[in-house]
Amino acid sequence: MSEAPICSVRGLEKHYPITSGLLRREVGRVRAVDGVSFDIERGEALGIVGESGSGKTTTAHTVLGLEEPTAGQVCFDGEPVAELTGSERRSFRRRAQLVVQDPNDALDPRMTVGEAVAEPLRIHGLDDADRRRAVVADVLERVGLSRDDVERYPHEFSGGEKQRISIARALVVSPDLIVADEPTSALDARVRAEILDLLDRIRREFDVALLFVSHDLDVVRRSCDRVAVMYLGEIVERGATGDVLADPAHPYTRVLLSSVPSLDPTDRELGRPLTDTVPDPSDPPAGCRFHPRCPDVIPPDDLSVSTETWRAIARFRFSLRAGELPEEAVGAETGAARDGERRTATQVRRAVGLEEELADPDAEQAVGDAAASLAAGDAAAAAETLAAAFTSVCERETPAAVDRPDGEERDGAATGAVSCLRHGRDGGAEPVESTGVDERR
């Protein structure tokens, strides 16, 4: 049996109220984090990756206790963080440290480097000034700076050097967990590589666990043992980094990978999203939250068209709803062409890639009616027609987390999971138990 994880997160939620009016009545909630679960093993690096707005940073801050969770539990070294008080709470603050994206946010320009790095020692009870100076000098050298830098001020250093100071400030109190929130996104490629090498060396040398928050899959690939992919407040896939990035099981992970530039002409096209608009987290889509953008959204059971045609239909439907249809389909104004004439249904169908008559008569009727409505300037009717004819199971059912196919195992249990209805249906993998990464309410 392996050692218990240093940090265990179960069913974590963080919602922000939306208020209105003079009385500040709550009219809704932004579901920034919505039922997230994962473990961070001692000495390992776990990456959380996703687009801006996916909930990565909110998750990290809630794990550290910088945000109060709406629901769920964070345990650190086996103890619920919410129940820690007094000396136990101070001990947690020392043992779990944060490295932020912009080191200027962590460094007081009025304090010398020595004072800034020594401050956590003073806060956590090291009153011996000589001892503090010795520890600070040692840590500065360990992060690639000089002990002579203690008397200098932050503005005298480059961006990469400031991040080293920020890392030293986190490391100085001998933490068990460092949360690194986009620590290299503001740095150029060479300095980025140096900082990543430094974090990796520190992790291995001091046996520190690392929770690495990033939007950059290449950074996660280089730095993390395991990865959790977040979308709209939920973890949709997780597993060993090599497994997930070499053979992604969730369409969103494939979409993220397809956005990474590659010099290899043999790289296969992993797919692009149906729409670019990320839904409002205060009103997330029903079912699978990725379905309005998913290139692999499941077609209706009774639809008899090719995969390519179904994808064009789905793109037509969800692009219309997101307001992303090409101008050729709707004109500069809804239903109006540049020359002032209305679009025809044929022009609309050509613009959305559905010009050819469909073999499925019901699908042909629905697409034709929707195109005619749109040509007449009635976008609402077109959207209603498409929604009624082409409803997917992905918008009716919330996918449970199931074992990733061909994933690694630890202590007899799968270490990877994916939340997608294309996995686990019709005799597929069994749902992940409550210790899995993505428990659903």
What's the confidence (pLDDT) of residue 412? 46
Is 318 within a domain? yes
> Mean pLDDT of residues grouped by 10 in the chain (441 residues)?
84 92 84 95 96 94 95 96 93 95 89 94 86 93 94 94 95 96 89 94 94 93 95 96 94 89 51 89 94 96 94 96 88 48 86 94 96 93 96 95 73 74 62 37 31
Same domain, 55 and 165: yes
Same domain, 226 and 315: no
Same domain, 235 and 335: no
Is 151 within a domain? yes
What's the confidence (pLDDT) of residue 264? 52
Is 399 within a domain? no
What's the confidence (pLDDT) of residue 22? 81
What's the confidence (pLDDT) of residue 126? 80
What's the confidence (pLDDT) of residue 185? 86
Same domain, 240 and 365: no
Same domain, 65 and 192: yes
Same domain, 140 and 219: yes
Same domain, 82 and 152: yes
CATH number at residue 44: 3.40.50.300
Same domain, 29 and 174: yes
Domain count, the chain: 2
**Element (DSSP H or E) covering residue 196:** helix 189-206
Is 69 within a domain? yes
What's the confidence (pLDDT) of residue 407? 59
Is 426 within a domain? no
What's the confidence (pLDDT) of residue 434? 34
Same domain, 350 and 232: no
Domain limits for position 71? 7-246
Tokens for 344, please give them.
């025809």
Is 49 within a domain? yes
418-434 as b/e: b if 16+ CB within 10 A: bbbbbbbeeeebebbee
Scanning 335-441, the segments in alpha helix (DSSP H) are 345-351, 361-375, 379-389
What's the confidence (pLDDT) of residue 334? 45
Neighbour tally for 318: CB within 10 Å:
24
Same domain, 80 and 219: yes
Half-sphere exposure of 305 (CA within 13 A, CB side): 24
What's the confidence (pLDDT) of residue 65? 93
Task: Give the three-class secondary structure for 294.
Answer: coil
What's the confidence (pLDDT) of residue 172? 94
What's the confidence (pLDDT) of residue 410? 53
Is 402 within a domain? no
What's the confidence (pLDDT) of residue 428? 42
What's the confidence (pLDDT) of residue 1? 41
What's the confidence (pLDDT) of residue 332? 45
Same domain, 211 and 315: no
Rounded to the nearest 5°, which phi and psi values hold at 318? -80, -25
Identify the DSSP state of 180.
E
**Sole residue written with tokens 């979409």:** 255
What's the confidence (pLDDT) of residue 87? 92
Is 253 within a domain? no
Same domain, 315 and 230: no
Rounded to whole angstroms, the Cα distance separating 174 from 403 reads 35
